[in-house]
């Protein structure tokens, strides 16, 4: 469940961005890593209270996300590159930032553990700590919040309009560039938040970004690409399947299980759990 909560947060932040730009933004993984490390250094080196440092770090990642968009994707979109080029570029950015953090902080694992691990509540035979409860609660709250933003506010409406039809949206007076920047901002802020939460719950290392973003992408494909409730559902689904799997087999096979799930979904139900069958045309 806790893993599922983190996966859903990552998938949620990925899905918001994917909704408007329609390519795999791998660099998102490094934005999450940045969030985790900034939160870590703010609270350990600067000495800001933990929650505040997570908020600050998510503000910084918001800027980082927008900078990534402005410096590269924006230009590539203007010259009309394909999704594949954009995805490869994104991978390049990802490798760049990840290794930057590796040089800055070293490859070792850092941890922001708060309080002893034994402290927790017994629910249904399993122990669950306060941090874990708050991760689940926060991801559910964020889901509701993001959903209401997307469904009810003007920005949300514009995001959906751009997602459906960028040309049509620009005819009716919406600037797609601006909306994409908004979605990058929201998505990256969420990424920073999830990075901060990860640093609370488990240890952080520079190379965790790839795993996280891949799980995020898998979760949002399982749930239905571009669908926000789908991303959350997919995240919990993936978290549960993975942990059931390693409970039955071995911990090392975790990634094999999730990629097998991905390939199965791509082959048999590429539109995901919540996607509509008509979406298949776009795949």
Q: How far is CA 67 from CA 17, 64, 85, 184, 200, in A?
A: 14, 5, 18, 9, 26
Regarding 273 and contact with other proteins (CB under 8 A), the answer is no
Q: Which two tokens stand for residue 249?
A: 């087999």
Kind of pairing between the strands at 126-128 and 121-123: antiparallel
Cβ at position 136, least distance to other proteins in Å: 27
Measured distance between the N- and C-terminal CA atoms of the chain, rounded to whole angstroms: 30
Candidates 140, 152, 250, 276: give the one binding other proteins (CB under 8 A).
Answer: 250
C-alpha 95/C-alpha 74 separation (Å) is 19
We find the least distance from the C-beta atom of residue 12 to other proteins, in angstroms, to be 19
Compose the 23-62 pattern: x for residues touching other proteins by CB under 8 A, - for all others: xx--------------------------------------
The only residue of 44, 50, 59, 81 in contact with other proteins, by rule CB under 8 A: 81
Confirm or reject binding of residue 76 to other proteins (CB under 8 A). Answer: yes
Contacting other proteins within 152-191 (CB under 8 A): none
Place of tokens 């950015």: 93
Among 8, 98, 139, 220, binds other proteins (CB under 8 A): 98
The rounded distance, in Å, linking the Cα atoms of 22 and 93 is 17
Q: What's the CA gap between 6 and 138, in Å, rounded?
A: 10
Measured distance CA(280)–CA(283) in Å, rounded = 5
Interface region with other proteins, contact rule CB under 8 A, candidates 34-42, 59-67, 88-96, 117-125:
88-96
Residues that bind other proteins (CB under 8 A): 23-24, 72, 75-76, 80-85, 87-89, 91-100, 102-103, 106-107, 206, 210, 214, 217, 221, 250, 252-253, 255-256, 259-260, 262-263, 266-267, 270, 283
């Amino acid at each position: 469940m806790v893993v599922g909560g983190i996966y859903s947060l990552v998938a949620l932040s990925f899905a918001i961005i994917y909704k408007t730009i329609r390519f795999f933004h791998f660099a998102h993984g490094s934005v999450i890593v940045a969030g985790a490390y900034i939160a870590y250094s703010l609270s350990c080196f600067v000495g800001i209270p933990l929650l505040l440092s997570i908020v600050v770090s998510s503000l910084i990642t918001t800027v980082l996300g927008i900078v990534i968009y402005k410096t590269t994707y924006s230009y590539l979109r203007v010259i009309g590159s394909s999704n594949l080029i954009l995805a490869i570029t994104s991978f390049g950015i990802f490798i760049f930032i990840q290794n930057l953090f590796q040089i800055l902080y070293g490859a070792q694992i850092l941890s922001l553990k708060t309080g002893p691990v034994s402290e927790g509540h017994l629910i249904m035979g399993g122990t669950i700590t306060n941090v874990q409860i708050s991760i689940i609660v926060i991801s559910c709250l964020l889901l509701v919040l993001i959903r209401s933003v997307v469904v009810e506010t003007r920005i949300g409406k514009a995001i959906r309009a751009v997602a459906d039809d960028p040309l049509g949206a620009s005819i009716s007076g919406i600037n797609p560039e601006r909306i994409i920047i908004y979605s990058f901002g929201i998505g990256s802020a969420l990424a920073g938040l999830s990075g901060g939460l990860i640093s609370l719950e488990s240890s952080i290392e520079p190379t965790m970004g790839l795993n996280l973003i891949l799980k995020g992408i898998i979760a949002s494909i399982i749930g239905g690409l571009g669908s926000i409730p789908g991303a959350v559902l997919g995240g919990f689904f993936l978290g549960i399947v993975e942990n059931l799997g390693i409970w039955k087999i071995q911990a090392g096979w975790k990634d094999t299980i999730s990629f097998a799930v991905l390939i199965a979904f791509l082959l048999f139900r590429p539109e995901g759990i919540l996607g509509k069958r008509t979406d298949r045309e776009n795949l």
